[in-house]
């Protein structure tokens, strides 16, 4: 059975016009029942006819409001032809309704834009916070295990994730069997998985054929309790004595979704066997963080494909965030800034690059380009205009004076910036990176 909420999710524009039609027709129908001599309330003390159009304007904006007013006028002419009303066309009454709908529609459109802008800002900040928290967790865990893994297992988590990101760039953000195999090696290594499998998820339903597996694997059962729980909640589901009832059963020890910070579900990892001593909260947390980290890079690699094709050394997250900022500029006129700092070669080059990295804010993204003749340090500053750029330049000068007794100009360091526009990202980068200082 198709519910109203399901229709509204799949066909949002259809619901808008159905509600517009219903609210517009409601008042004349009520008027026909209550007062057949004046079904449009033209002679009433209050213009009740425009209540439906006003609600449509406040909820959906100018276009549906004008459609509602036009429908009212068509209903008037239809009622005249049918003999339900008589007399001259109420020009001033209709004109007042048009102006009322226009004013309410303009108000609705303005506030809808503000709400969308606020929602985009908060959503971006939330995604960035999740990414930073996962990155911090991975760094902490990597350092905790570095000493014990150095002799027996020399491959660190950082090296493994760098290899994974390299494959993502090569595959253009597509989860191929090769990429899933690399991810499974990392998961088996750091989460002590004995038997597990990775399945792609399409439209909320996992595939039946695994992309990669370890040990005996884990056959996919889409109706399994843990699988449904993981796909619906977007978090890791696992068996525990206090979580499953007596009549409940699962074929897996854990099911972890491959879900990005934006909520895009890419796949699921099903674990059928792992050492008993490894099945605890910390291991499951590591499993969830690794998958979320990988999902973010998969999504970023797919989004930034147009940028990384031209600039292979561009970090995928940088390219993806640049494309996001361009969309926000085009849709909501949110200002962001691109900054390029040219560092000449010298004995203090690495130290200067570290200073540039430390001066980045939590929302900023950096890209270091080693060009042979020197280094270009590119910084994307989301939600920042020229005023923030001036503050960034002033901070750099103060830090350089305090640590190196130099200034940007005195050290031959050139700085240039550009406000992110609605143009193609590759065009904006090309204009900024190749422009002569």
pLDDT tens digits, 69-98:
888 888 888 888 877 777 778 888 888 888
Torsion of CA 11, 17, 22, 25, to 10 degrees: -160
Cα–Cα distance for residue pair 258/180, rounded to 1 Å:
11
Residues 52, 27 contacting (CB under 8 angstroms): yes
- pLDDT tens digits, 323-372: 888 887 887 787 888 988 888 887 777 788 888 888 777 778 888 888 87
Alpha-carbon separation of residue 285 from 55, 94, 97, 138, 194 (angstroms): 48, 63, 59, 11, 17
pLDDT at 144: 61
- pLDDT tens digits, 27-44: 888 877 887 777 888 777
Cα–Cα distance for residue pair 123/261, rounded to 1 Å:
10
Residues 403, 355 contacting (CB under 8 angstroms): yes
pLDDT at 21: 86
- pLDDT tens digits, 255-284: 999 988 778 888 999 999 888 877 777 788
First to last CA, the chain: 64
Cα–Cα distance for residue pair 268/264, rounded to 1 Å:
12
Cα–Cα distance for residue pair 316/169, rounded to 1 Å:
7
Cα–Cα distance for residue pair 86/83, rounded to 1 Å:
7
3-state SS record for 49-104: CHHHHHHHHHHHCHHHHHHHHHHHHHHHHHHHHHCCCCCCCCHHHHHHHHHHHHHH
Residue 398 pairs in a beta bridge with none
pLDDT at 437: 38
Residue whose C-alpha is closest to residue 304's, from 432, 149, 162, 426: 426
Q: Which residues of the chain have pLDDT under 70?
A: 1-12, 134, 138, 140-162, 169, 171-173, 240-248, 435-437
Q: CA 22: distance to chain centroid?
A: 34
pLDDT at 210: 92
Could you write out the DSSP letters of every residue in 339-368? Answer: EEEEE--STTHHHHHHHHHHT--TT-EEEE
């Amino acid at each position: 059975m198709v519910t109203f909420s399901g229709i509204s999710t799949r066909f949002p524009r259809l619901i808008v016009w159905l509600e517009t039609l219903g609210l517009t027709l409601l008042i004349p129908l009520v008027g026909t029942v209550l007062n057949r001599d004046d079904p449009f309330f033209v002679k009433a003390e209050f213009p009740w006819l425009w209540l439906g159009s006003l609600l449509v304007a406040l909820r959906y904006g100018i276009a549906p409001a004008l459609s509602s007013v036009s429908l009212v006028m068509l209903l008037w002419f239809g009622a005249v032809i049918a003999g339900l009303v008589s007399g001259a066309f109420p020009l001033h009454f209709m004109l007042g309704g048009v102006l009322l709908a226009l004013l309410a529609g303009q108000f609705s459109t303005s506030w809808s834009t503000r709400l969308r802008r606020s929602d985009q800002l908060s959503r971006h900040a939330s995604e960035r916070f999740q990414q930073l928290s996962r990155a911090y967790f991975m760094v902490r865990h990597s350092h905790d295990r570095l000493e014990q893994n150095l002799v027996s297992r020399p491959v660190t988590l950082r090296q493994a994730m760098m290899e994974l990101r390299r494959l993502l760039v090569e595959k253009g953000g597509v989860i191929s069997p090769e990429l899933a195999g690399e991810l499974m090696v990392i998961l088996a290594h750091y989460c002590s998985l004995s038997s597990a499998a990775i399945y792609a998820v399409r439209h909320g339903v996992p595939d039946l054929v695994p992309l990669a597996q370890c040990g005996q694997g884990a056959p996919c059962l889409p109706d399994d309790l843990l699988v449904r729980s993981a796909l619906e909640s977007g978090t890791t589901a696992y068996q525990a004595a206090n979580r499953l009832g007596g009549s409940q059963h699962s074929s897996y020890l854990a099911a972890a979704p491959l879900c990005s910070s934006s909520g895009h579900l890419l796949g699921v990892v099903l674990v059928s066997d792992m050492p008993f001593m490894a099945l605890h909260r910390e291991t499951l947390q590591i499993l969830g963080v690794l998958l979320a980290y990988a999902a973010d890079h998969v999504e970023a690699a797919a989004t930034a494909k147009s940028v990384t094709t031209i600039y292979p050394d561009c970090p995928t997250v940088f390219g993806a965030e640049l494309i996001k900022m361009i969309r926000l500029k085009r849709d909501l006129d949110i200002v962001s800034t691109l900054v390029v700092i040219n560092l000449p070669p010298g004995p203090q080059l690495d130290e200067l690059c570290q200073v540039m990295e430390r001066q980045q804010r939590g929302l900023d993204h950096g890209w270091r380009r080693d060009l042979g003749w020197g280094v270009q340090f590119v910084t994307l500053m989301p939600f920042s205009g020229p005023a923030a750029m001036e503050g960034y330049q002033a901070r750099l000068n103060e830090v350089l004076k305090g640590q190196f007794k130099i200034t940007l100009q005195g050290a031959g360091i050139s700085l240039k910036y550009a406000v992110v526009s609605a143009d193609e990202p590759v065009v904006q980068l090309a204009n900024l990176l190749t422009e002569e200082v």
